[in-house]
Structure 1
Amino acid sequence: METKPLPKDAVLVINTHSRRGQDNFAQAREKLEAAGVRLIAAHAVDDPEQMAATVRDAVASGAPLVIVGGGDGSMSGTVDELVGKDCVFGVLPLGTANSFARTLGLPLDLDGAVRAIATGKRRRVDLGMIDRDYFVNAAALGLSPQIGQTVPHKLKRYLGRIGYLMWAVKCSVGFRAFRLTINDGQVERRMWSTEVRILNGPYHGGVELSDHAAVDTGEIVIQAVVGRSKPRLAWDWYAKFFKLRHRDAHTQEWHGTSFRIDTVPRQRISIDGEVLARTPVMVKVAAGAIEVAVPDEPRSETC
């Protein structure tokens, strides 16, 4: 079946609070128009809490393509507005980790991302769900939410992933393992864990964590770092960052369409970098929920 071409009329919405959003709003607008994308409207949003309402208004106005610029939190916080709508999602990766863009094979530079929107193609992809909240890429419980909730904005803005790493070392001092229960409706599993990743795609924090998670499988992947050891958790991130041979030695994975996750004690959950939920939760996949703009040819992964 032939796929419809990408729309040429669009609304641009950029989170200027994201790492590179403020610097790149004017450039993005100029480059999109120069590439042949006709902007019906362009919004530089200073308050991240207004991103969803701005995108909602753009979709309601009939825009066939809504381009969102920001980090993974901006994507996750606005994607709900496109579910079930005849509107394509365009991604400008202007954040720190840009995990969703990496998953889609999008260039991480502005010129490349604009080119993908102007000359690329549509791709229908899955979304994850935590209870009734959609997310684009990954959610996590354990140390990651503590980092995401407390990391200073300036540290994240100017040092990027290195800033996250520095703050992770600080946060790990008082962190403790927790009892994890995972139920897929047939089998209930119990174990100690230091971190759980709920993956719609392979990346979390800009690091490729799973060889099996993807946005078009119709399944969600639950990955747990098992045991009570904090050094083991640190080694897991190190091994996955550098793609070492035995990088999966301390993790277990489960695949499926829905899971119930509970912990003792209760754990906060970061959803694409924003702390928005607490256990217990239902985790689901929303198969083929939205269409996104992607390059005709996926980019090669670089550090």
Structure 2
Amino acid sequence: MPVDAATICVLANPSAGLASRDATALAAAMAAFGPTVPLRRLSDGQSFEDAVRAALADGFTTIVAAGGDGTVAAVAQAMLGSGASLGILPLGTFNFVSRGLGLPEDPAAAARAILAGHPHRISVGTVNGRLFLNNLSLGLYPRILAEREAAYARFGRFRFLAYWTVLATLIRAQRLRHLRIETEEGIRDIRTPLVFIARSAYQLERFGLSAGDIISDDRFAVFVARSGSRWHLLKLALHLAFRRLVPGDDVDLFAAHSLTIRTPRRRPRVAIDGEKRRLLAPLKLEIRTDALSIIIPDEMDKVRT
């Protein structure tokens, strides 16, 4: 049964839609939803948790996140256990979550797909109880995000800059991290510049990695970058930038239903769905089965990627 427009509320950051491109896209999406669907922007000091709680109290049962993957993850975190369904209007740079679900990248078309779609429960990853939909990483990737934000602030949000920052950061990198990873299969002591833990098969495919069977089996796909010479790091950077990582050469892969990561630092910096955070170690990762209801398109409305 299609989603009832009267049950939908759209949430966005205060800055969402302020740029001319995003303003046009967001306005087109709201027009596609129709006049009965409200758009609520976060007020000063308000969190997505507060905004979701208010929307649920007002009787809305479909909460649409208008933004990139970071916004989607923040809204999804607030919705866990609520019984409401998450919809997505993609306004970010990569939009891995929406693209993985087959939603159109055009926000107006995505709005129409939400209206014609249906709820579907998915499993999600958590770290220390915090949800993530795409990935979690330690080591170089949080530094890459800092470089990316600086480049965006200086030159604008162009996708090629995201790939350039991967290359530039890894070229300069030399430090290896010592980590202890505990899984149901035992303990691994490793030294590596990067650990990348994935929950999105779509995102992995874009980097030339295949782990769809691991993701569909409700496990984490854990990629550990191999240590080596400066040339090896340069090659890793090039392969990351051009999305063609080589398992067994650039990275090693293993799967786990749950894992604990112990680090030398008490509060290591991690990247969760593209957002930098410091979390208290050890990091405990678990799969929450069928924990989130999300609106997906009917087959005829899906975009084939």
Using the size of structure 2 for normalisation, the TM-score is 0.83
Counterpart in 1 of 2:249?
Answer: 249
Identity of paired residues, percent? 23
**In structure 2, what residue type is equivalent to 1:99?**
F
Output the amino acid matched with 1:300. R
Equivalenced residue count is: 296
2:166–2:240 CA contact under 8 A, matched in 1: no
Gaps of 5+ in 2: none
- Alignment partner of 1:42 out of 39, 44, 54: 39
Kindly state the Cα deviation for residue 132 of structure 1 after the two structures are TM-superposed: 1.3
Q: What's the counterpart of residue 175 of structure 2?
A: 176
Distance of 1:51 and 1:132 partners within structure 2: 17
The structure whose residues are more often strand, as a share, is 1
Contact 2:25–2:106 at 8 Å: present in 1 too?
Answer: no
Residue of structure 1 equivalent to 2:124: 127
Look up the equivalent residue of 1:277 and give its one-letter code: R
Q: Which residue of 1 aligns with 2:199?
A: 200
Residues 181 and 190 of structure 1 are in contact (CA less than 8 Å); yes or no, is this contact kept in structure 2?
yes
Q: Which amino acid aligns with 1:190?
A: D
Does residue 48 of structure 2 align to residue 51 of structure 1?
Answer: yes
Q: Which has the higher helix share?
A: 2
In structure 2, C-alpha distance between the alignment counterparts of 1:277 and 1:204, rounded to whole Å:
23
The 1:167/1:190 distance shift into structure 2, 3 A limit, reads same
The 1:66/1:13 distance shift into structure 2, 3 A limit, reads same
1:273 aligns with 2:274: yes
Work out the CA distance in 2 between the residues paired with 1:170 and 1:71. Answer: 24
Offset at residue 27 of structure 1 (A): 4.8
Q: Are 1:198 and 1:221, in contact at CA under 8 Å, matched by a contact in 2?
A: yes
1:178 touches 1:194 (CA, 8 Å); kept in 2?
Answer: yes
Asked if structure 1 preserves the Cα contact closer than 8 Å seen for 2:195 and 2:225, the reply is: yes
User: Structure 1 residues 258 and 165, CA, compared in 2 at 3 Å: closer, same or farther?
Assistant: same
Q: Deviations over 1:80-120 (max 9, x none)?
A: 22111121100111111211112222221213311221112
| 2:260 corresponds to 1:260 | yes
d(CA) in 1 for partners of 2:102, 2:159: 19
What letter matches 2:156 in structure 1?
Y
C-alpha displacement of 1:121: 2.3
Return closer, same or farther for 1:288/1:145 CA change in 2, 3 Å cut-off: same
Indicate the larger mover: 200-209 or 89-98.
200-209
Measured in 2, the distance between the counterparts of 1:108 and 1:26 equals: 14
Q: Report the Cα distance in structure 2 between the residues aligned to 1:140 and 1:51, rounded to whole angstroms.
A: 23
Q: Which residue of 2 aligns with 1:67?
A: 64
- Residues 207, 244 of structure 2: 8 Å contact kept: no
Structure 2 counterpart of 1:221: 221
CA separation in 1, counterparts of 2:244 and 2:144? Answer: 24
Partner of 1:13: 11
Matches within 5 A, 1:110-121: 110-121=107-118
Mean Cα deviation higher: 93-102 or 156-165: 156-165
Structure 1: gaps (5+ residues) = none
Could you tell me which amino acid in structure 1 is paired with residue 68 of structure 2? G
8 Å CA contact retained: 1:21, 1:94: no
- Distance in 2, Cα, partners of 1:285 & 1:105: 22
Give the counterpart letter for 1:199 in structure 2: A
- Residue deviations 1:41-95 (CA, integer Å, cap 9, x gap): 3113376963332122112322110011111111112212211112110011111
Mean Cα displacement is larger for which, 292-301 or 135-144? 292-301
- Alignment match, 2:141: 144
CA gap of 1:13–1:177, structure 2 versus 1, over 3 A, is: same
Deviation of 1:219 (Å): 1.9
- TM normalised by structure 1 equals 0.83
Change (3 A) 1:145 1:209: farther
Q: Per the alignment, do residues 239 and 108 of structure 1 end up closer, same or farther by CA in structure 2, a change over 3 Å counting?
A: same
Identify which range, 233-242 or 170-179, moves more after superposition: 233-242
How far the C-alpha of 1:142 sits from its partner, in A, is 1.5
| AA aligned opposite 1:171 | T
Secondary structure at the counterpart of residue 152 of structure 1: helix
Which deviates further from its counterpart, 84-93 or 119-128?
Answer: 119-128
Are positions 1:300 and 2:304 aligned together? yes
Structure 1 letter corresponding to 2:9: V
Q: Given that residues 216 and 288 in structure 1 are in contact (C-alpha distance below 8 angstroms), is that contact kept between their aligned partners in structure 2? A: no
Q: Give distance in 1, aligned partners of 2:198 and 2:111.
A: 26
1:78 aligned to 2:75? yes
1:240-292 deviation line (CA, Å, top 9, x unaligned): 66565945532222222210112346741111111123443011111111111
- Indicate if the aligned counterparts of 1:36 and 1:118 stay in contact, CA closer than 8 A: no
Give the aligned residue type for 2:117. G
2: CA distance, partners of 1:271 / 1:38: 34
